[in-house]
Amino acid sequence: MASDNDFLLYVLDLLREVSGITYRKMMGEYVIYKDGKVFGGIYDNRFLVKKTKSLSGYGFSEALPYPGGSLMYAVDSEDPDEIKEVVEKLISDLK
């Protein structure tokens, strides 16, 4: 199932406190970048981020973005400040 534009706009609103956010539509889904680095995406209207050690304490559930994909964390927070913290920790882990 492809993700819809309304869910993309919802996630982008949640990411409003994070600078450098861009996205690209790919095969009906959306890949999300911070400063050109992929950190997550929208898959089947779920906001998923890469699974890193720093995020293990948040209690996010694991989810597959698509069959055969790597496990990711499903972000269920609606707090833009918490999401900013999550993205900053995740990007730091990816460096």
Supply the range of the domain harboring residue 21.
5-94
Torsion of CA 55, 61, 65, 69, to 10 degrees: 70
* Alpha-helix runs per DSSP H in 18-95: 80-94
Q: Is residue 76 very low, low, confident or very high in pLDDT (cuts 50, 70, 90)? A: very high
Q: Is residue 18 very low, low, confident or very high in pLDDT (cuts 50, 70, 90)? A: very high
Q: pLDDT tens across 33-65, in order?
A: 999 999 999 999 999 999 999 999 999 999 999
Residue 2: per-residue pLDDT: 83
How far is it, in rounded angstroms, from Cα 36 to Cα 60?
Answer: 24
Domain count, the chain: 1
Residue 86: per-residue pLDDT: 96
What predicted TM-score, i.e. pTM, was given to this entire model? 0.93
Domain of 28: which CATH number? Answer: 3.30.1460.30
Instruction: Report which secondary-structure segment, H or E, holds 43.
Output: strand 37-43
